[in-house]
Amino acid sequence: MTLSVKIQKALGSFDNDAARSRQSSTSSVEFHRALSHEGFQLDVEFEVPPGFAILFGASGSGKTTTLKSISGIVRPDAGRIGINDEVLFDSERRIDLPIRRRGVGYVFQDLALFPHLTALANVEFGMSHLPHNDRQRRAEAMMEALHIAHTARRKPREISGGEAQRIALARALSCGPRILLLDEPLSAIDEATKLGIISDLKSINRELRLPILYVTHNREEAVALGERVIVVERGRVVARGEPIELFGTPITNSVARLTGVENIFAGSVVSKSERDGTMTVEISDRSGVCRVDVPFGNQARGERVTVAVPAGDILLATEDPRSTSLRNRLHGRISAIEDKVNRTVVSVQAGVVWNSSVTRQAVRELGLSQGGEVWLAFKTHSCYLLDETQ
Amino acid sequence: MGEIDWFPLTLSLRVALIATAFVVIIGVALGWLLARRRFFGRELLDAAVTLPLVLPPTVLGYYLLVLLGRKSLVGHAIEAITGQPLVFTWRGAVVAAGIGALPLVVKTSRTAIAAVDTNLEDAARTLGQTEWRVFWRVTMPLASLGIIAAAMLAFARALGDFGATLMVAGNIPGRTQTAAIAIYDAAQAGRDNYALVLVLILSVVTLFLVYATNKLTVGK
């Protein structure tokens, strides 16, 4: 199975915002309304082969509308949506299959579990064409696989957030969808629970081999899940590829910010050496200034530039790493250590504040703690000069 | 005072029950239409079904007479099919009471259905359910409290209908004389005790229904 999508839709004031306004405070509602009044054109094209693909972007970039278009809840202005050779939507041929005939499993952002039914009845809901016994057996098997068999007789309001996620997943999978759409399904639960669900979903999908389109604005999730990432910004695909390459080599400032390259600084070129193939840039942030060597480019001396360094490229050492090939060595003090899903981010004050991402094991073995002295080291080629024009 | 004539009361109950059954089906369908479908003239339709709530009952009765009378097209057709005219029979009273109760059912069920999260309905559709099944398995169960409340209000309203019923069904003792009309008749004729009995019974039943409706909709 391969899902192919090519759609266009004008976005004005939109249901995504309406949905958000139900749950958020007045001020942010105003903010979203203001944003949506501008309006923009959703115009995306991508394919999802079996396996996970991440649709990645900030809130309001058109991700949910894309999912709703694929499932048939929202009708695009133009375009074509298909699974293998079957057309779900084609504006030119005037094909628009109703939602129920699309075979699209959908886990809603708010899960949309039926509050009047038990967990088991929720999971059985989509199998009404089967005899009662088959229905129950299949639902129970799916709940078993997702470790929620014990919730079968409970109503959604008596169930924890993580369990509710799993029930929504079981419900979407049990009616045999051809593709699975997940709309920021893990946004409201803690990280350990999240990792458990992700790994269960991955192991279930090793058999099913469904194309799974997973919407998130969380970089950790994108990296943990992603076989492929599609980055969307204001309704357009701005980048796509493997998470590693995408998050490793930011092209534009917006992609860098979206993909969460933690170190982005404004600076200016202070010297250039064509012979060495490097330039020295003085960068600054609110806490101070420092100088780094970056790859030689066509920027003039004194020209303003933006430098990005992926946090994963910065090496931490407890002694001065003098005898290495690394051109950038900075000495500083740890200002914060923060645990993320599958890594730990160490913030270091060394002129400016740098973020370095390391494993928990490294934090333990080096005995890193807040206030401790460390050296930072990274290659000249880990410094990217961002293209500000895009 | 003599024997109490229970006929008006049993007739009222029968008329109100049948009227409620019809009105709930039509009213919930209209409520769903108004809550869930966008179409030209939607608010005009809402206004039109609200009219019986605010029009003088005699105006309503007049319309019904013109529309359903033996000389009208509709009345003629009904008489041809059922062999009996609608006006000046207890069936006419059902129509009159039903029309009076319709706005309550439409308004209440529109509100109840609009309050059901459309995401839940969309979720049911992604699970392969037809519109009909989405309605019965998701919308209806979640709106059921509001719809039960609507049915009880409709019953209370139908039980007490006077003006429109009088014009459409007349005041034929033992045939079309409902409790509300019998009270008027008894008071006019000075049979105050009989009027009082019916007044008390109607008051208590209606009070209970409105109280129960409030419990269902406000106190949940």
| Sequential DSSP letters for A68-106 | HHHHTSS--SEEEEEETTEEEEETTTTEE--GGGS-EEE
ipTM of the complex: 0.84
Alpha carbons A119 and A151: distance in angstroms, whole number: 6
Which residue carries 């109490």 as its tokens? Answer: B4
What is the model's pLDDT at position B75? 85
CB neighbours of B155 closer than 8 A, spacing ≥ 6? Answer: B16, B17, B20, B101, B209
**Rounded mean pLDDT of chain B?**
91
Q: Taking residues B110-136, report their average pLDDT.
A: 95
- Residue range B71-99, pLDDT digits in tens: 888 888 888 888 888 889 999 999 999 99
- Residue range B169-189, pLDDT digits in tens: 988 888 999 999 999 999 999
Q: Flag whether B1 is in a domain.
A: no
Say if CB A179 and CB A212 are below 8 A apart: yes
Q: Flag whether B203 is in a domain.
A: yes
With a CB-CB cutoff of 8 Å, which residues 172-211 of chain B face chain A? Answer: none
What is the model's pLDDT at position B196? 94
pLDDT surpasses 70 at B204: yes
- Give A345's strand partners: A338, A357
- Specify the DSSP class assigned to residue A157: G
Q: How far is CA B41 from the centre of its chain?
A: 23
Q: Nearest 5°: CA angle at A156, between A154 and A158?
A: 60
Q: Which of B28, B46, B49 is nearest to B147 (CA)?
A: B28
Which of helix, strand or coil describes residue B52? helix
- The verdict on a CB contact (< 8 Å) between A116 and B142 is yes
Q: Which of B208, B202, B106, B209 is nearest to B162 (CA)?
A: B202
Q: Which CATH number goes with the domain that contains B38?
A: 1.10.3720.10
Domain with B190, as residue range(s), is: 7-217
Say if CB B42 and CB B114 are below 8 A apart: no
Give the tokens for residue A162. 């993580």
Averaged over successive runs of 10 residues, the pLDDT of chain A (390 residues) comes to 89 51 35 49 90 85 91 93 92 93 93 95 92 92 92 93 92 92 77 78 87 84 74 84 63 62 84 88 88 86 85 87 86 88 85 89 88 91 68
pLDDT surpasses 90 at B144: yes
**Chain B residues inside the 8 Å CB shell of A171:** 127
**Chain B residues inside the 8 Å CB shell of A99:** 122, 125-126
How would you classify residue B88: left for phi > 0, otherwise alpha for psi between -120 and 50, otherwise beta? left
Q: Is B114 at the interface with chain A, CB within 8 A?
A: no
Residue A190: phi and psi, rounded to 5, are -75, 165
CB neighbours of B37 closer than 8 A, spacing ≥ 6? Answer: none
What is the model's pLDDT at position A389? 45
Q: Tell me the pairing of strands A236-241 and A344-350.
A: unpaired
Residue B5: phi and psi, rounded to 5, are -85, 110
What is the model's pLDDT at position B219? 56
Say if CB A109 and CB A138 are below 8 A apart: no
A307's enclosing H/E stretch is strand A304-309
* Number of domains into which chain B is organized: 1
What is the model's pLDDT at position A67? 94
What is the model's pLDDT at position B4? 82
Does the pTM of the predicted model rise above 0.80? no
Taking residue A5's Cβ as centre, other Cβ atoms within 10 Å add up to: 24
Alpha carbons A207 and B211: distance in angstroms, whole number: 57
The alpha-carbon gap from A6 to the nearest alpha carbon of chain B, in Å, equals: 20
Helix pair angle (B90-114, B42-54), 10° resolution? 130
Q: Flag whether B110 is in a domain.
A: yes
Q: CB-CB: which of B120, B122, B128 is closest to A126?
A: B128
The alpha-carbon gap from B67 to the nearest alpha carbon of chain A, in Å, equals: 41
Residue A304: phi and psi, rounded to 5, are -75, 135
Alpha carbons A109 and A26: distance in angstroms, whole number: 20
Domains and CATH numbers, chain A: 3-103+177-257 (3.40.50.300), 261-385 (2.40.50.100)
User: B126, B132, B145: which to substitute to probe chain A, counting the most A Cβ within 10 Å?
Assistant: B126
Give the tokens for residue A266. 């404004």
Alpha carbons A307 and A284: distance in angstroms, whole number: 10
Say if CB A209 and CB A177 are below 8 A apart: no
Which residue carries 């105003």 as its tokens? Answer: A30
